[in-house]
Structure 1
């Protein structure tokens, strides 16, 4: 049985890679490498290593909201992708968990 993993990358909205938002660079790289899927989620509030709270409150719009990039794929595909993530993420947190896939219907038309 193939093992699946969830790679979650915690970065800031203002983080960039080669003049592009880092979250988009990661999503595009995952697509280019044929990973099963990637999702970038913008958080409504959070804080990191400096304990500064970033929030979407109307009166204090933050320019650096937390972004989570989540990628789920087979262990081998994640292992191939991870070194590039480690190069690209210079300020953030990267986590990796085993996941149990209970339903997956890939688009075979691609």
Structure 2
């Protein structure tokens, strides 16, 4: 595993939108994406659980209805330099077979780890 980079200025945000119940080898798919991002030495990854959403099936999944609350939308967000994000994309091939993967340009204003000073 390589040391995570510390991006600043222009960057790219990779967002992987999947269902909470999507699996990869008996592991949550979102966890596998995070694991692969860490292995690739990307700056960081965060997983956000949605409270409501729909995708290609047009079926609304919501935390308000108990019968549909098992498969809420999940977003894995990764921000790093554009070249590093694009180099990582092939690691998603065969992994994300449903859902949505997007790239957006963004600007990193501050990136610091925990502790006193980043």
Q: Which residue of 2 aligns with 1:27?
A: 34
TM-score, scaled to structure 1: 0.88
| 1:59-94 residue CA offsets vs partner (Å, 9 max, x unmatched) | 435211100000000112101111111321000100
Deviation of the 1:102 alpha carbon: 1.3
Matched residue pairs, number? 107
- How far, CA to CA, are the matches of 2:73 and 2:39 in structure 1? 24
Can you give the 5+ residue segments of structure 2 that lack an aligned partner in the other structure? 1-7
Q: Which residue of 2 aligns with 1:88?
A: 95
CA RMSD of aligned residues (A): 1.8
- How far, CA to CA, are the matches of 1:103 and 1:48 in structure 2? 32
Instruction: Give runs of ≥4 in structure 1 deviating > 4 Å.
Output: none
